């Protein structure tokens, strides 16, 4: 096929013809990436401040991850979980040694990891909590698009049209510990939440909230499930965001940055809870295959290297400060918030036009809802990249 020679506009038209229209796509056709930079099929370069939505934490085509995938692909790609997979055992060991957890289950996405968490919580509830099976989640949350995870997601706009939804979910406002306490009944088996609501608009709860949730879970003998799919894997400057509050959950889900772009998800749990899963309880054909695990192992190796988290923290502080300066110059910026390198800038207008102007100027940025610009750069971002973005935003916002 000579399709490689199509222009960006031609690809966009062809895509409209063949793909289900589940996305409102921006007019960019990326074909190559390196570190912070993406190149489109017409040769234009973009600085990537979205990182594939918090996926490419180490930047595009990180040499160590590329080498690992290349080497693994040429020796063994897939064998099935009917056999023992050394790469899978190694990644599980790395995650366990660097977290609260004792056991890991691997899958292929964030939704699947959360689906696994919901199933494990219910199974544990049925067997160990006298049949309790209800899960409390947060309004404005995001946990995925499968039927159970879209039901866990406390936003009607994602659920509308897909009824009947699975039963057993109850919603409370985020960062409201009294509302949470009141929602607990003798049916409640677990509370599931994001440490920072990412899709919901980069909402950071008051400091101490996770500690309060942990205490409540302990008091009521309820499981605490943290969805760290977006904010885990170093995004906030700690390997996992909950480390900021010195607490440990009973379960945690990961995906996005875990394979730096190779699809890998994981459900982590303590030994006591993981024991509710026995052979046959749960499975995934692709989950934990040698290829995905080689990508995750290389990614973890870089993330856990000396000084990596310090860089994230420093750049997070720097970028937030530069965005705050920008706010001083532009009244349309209402608020700058976030932690480490997940940052949101709330505007007094819809952000679609701003994102399109950024694209024209060679910058990829995201949104969270209609009024919040969201920045999720690869964690290897440097101050000079931030300065370029801020300079361009300054110019665009002056113009709008």
Ligand X SMILES: *Cc1c(COP(=O)(O)O)cnc(C)c1O
Point out which residues bind ligand X (CB under 6 A).
109-111, 114, 142-144, 194, 198-199, 227, 229-230, 255-256
Closer of 145 and 181 to ligand X (Cβ): 145
Q: How far is the CB of 265 from ligand X (least distance, A)?
A: 6
Task: Give the span between the Cα atoms of 109 and 70, in whole angstroms.
Answer: 21
Closer of 203 and 347 to ligand X (Cβ): 203
Closer of 56 and 255 to ligand X (Cβ): 255
Q: How far is the CB of 251 from ligand X (least distance, A)?
A: 13
Compute how many other C-beta atoms are within 10 angstroms of the C-beta atom of residue 229. 27
Q: How far is the CB of 214 from ligand X (least distance, A)?
A: 19
Closer of 143 and 357 to ligand X (Cβ): 143
- What 3-state DSSP class applies to 104? strand
Closer of 132 and 375 to ligand X (Cβ): 375
Q: How far is the CB of 108 from ligand X (least distance, A)?
A: 8
Closer of 111 and 354 to ligand X (Cβ): 111
Closer of 230 and 260 to ligand X (Cβ): 230
Cβ(29)–Cβ(345) below 8 Å: no
Q: Where are the alpha helices (DSSP H) in 98-246?
A: 110-128, 147-152, 156-159, 177-183, 209-220
Select the residue whose beta carbon is closest to ligand X and give its number: 110
Q: How far is the CB of 263 from ligand X (least distance, A)?
A: 7
Q: How far is the CB of 256 from ligand X (least distance, A)?
A: 6
Closer of 46 and 142 to ligand X (Cβ): 142
Q: How far is the CB of 161 from ligand X (least distance, A)?
A: 19
Cβ(352)–Cβ(369) below 8 Å: no
Task: Provide DSSP, 7-45.
Answer: -HHHHHHHHHHHS-------S--EEEEEBTEEEETTS-E
Q: How far is the CB of 104 from ligand X (least distance, A)?
A: 17
Task: Give the span between the Cα atoms of 64 and 66, in whole angstroms.
Answer: 5
| Helix H or strand E segment including 134 | strand 134-138
Q: What is the DSSP letter of 170?
A: E
Compute how many other C-beta atoms are within 10 angstroms of the C-beta atom of residue 119. 17
Strands (E), the chain: 30-34, 37-40, 45-48, 103-107, 134-138, 169-172, 188-193, 223-227, 251-254, 265-269, 333-339, 342-347, 363-364, 366-368, 372-375
Cα 285 to Cα 81, 86, 113, 226, distances in angstroms: 7, 16, 14, 25
Strands 45-48 and 103-107, by their bridges, are unpaired
């Amino acid at each position: 096929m000579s399709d490689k020679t199509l222009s960006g506009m031609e690809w966009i038209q062809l895509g409209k013809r063949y793909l289900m229209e589940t996305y409102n796509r921006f007019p960019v056709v990326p074909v190559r990436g390196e570190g912070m930079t993406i190149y489109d099929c017409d040769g234009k370069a973009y600085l990537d401040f979205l990182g594939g939505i918090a996926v490419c934490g180490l930047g595009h085509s990180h040499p160590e991850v590329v080498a690992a995938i290349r080497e693994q692909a040429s020796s063994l790609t897939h064998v099935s979980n009917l056999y023992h997979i050394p790469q899978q055992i190694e990644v599980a060991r790395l995650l366990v040694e660097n977290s609260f957890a004792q056991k890991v289950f691997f899958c292929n996405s964030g939704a699947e990891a959360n689906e696994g968490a919901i199933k494990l919580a219910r199974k544990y509830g049925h067997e160990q909590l006298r049949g309790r099976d209800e899960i409390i989640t947060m309004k404005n949350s995001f946990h995925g698009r499968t039927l159970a995870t879209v039901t866990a997601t406390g936003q009607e706009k994602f659920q509308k049209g897909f009824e009947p939804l699975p039963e057993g979910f109850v919603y409370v406002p985020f960062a409201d510990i009294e509302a949470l306490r009141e929602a607990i009944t003798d049916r409640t088996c677990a509370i599931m939440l994001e440490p920072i609501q990412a899709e919901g608009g980069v909402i950071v709860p008051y400091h101490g909230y996770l500690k309060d949730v942990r205490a409540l879970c302990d008091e009521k003998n309820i499981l605490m499930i943290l969805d760290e799919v977006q904010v885990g894997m170093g995004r906030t400057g700690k390997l996992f965001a909950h480390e900021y509050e010195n607490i440990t959950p009973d379960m945690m889900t990961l995906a996005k940055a875990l394979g730096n772009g190779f699809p890998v998800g994981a459900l982590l749990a303590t030994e006591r809870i993981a024991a509710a899963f026995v052979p046959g309880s749960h499975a995934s054909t692709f989950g934990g295959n040698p290829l995905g695990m080689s990508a995750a192992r290389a990614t973890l190796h870089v993330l856990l290297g000396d000084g990596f988290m310090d860089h994230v923290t420093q750049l997070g502080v720097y970028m937030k400060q530069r965005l705050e300066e920008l706010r001083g110059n532009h009244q349309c910026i209402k608020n700058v918030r976030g932690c480490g390198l997940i940052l949101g800038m709330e505007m007094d207008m819809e952000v679609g036009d701003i994102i399109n102007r950024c694209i024209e100027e060679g910058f990829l940025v995201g949104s969270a809802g209609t009024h919040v610009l969201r920045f999720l750069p690869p964690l290897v971002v440097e101050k000079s990249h931030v300065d370029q973005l801020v300079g361009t935003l300054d110019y665009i916002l002056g113009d709008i």
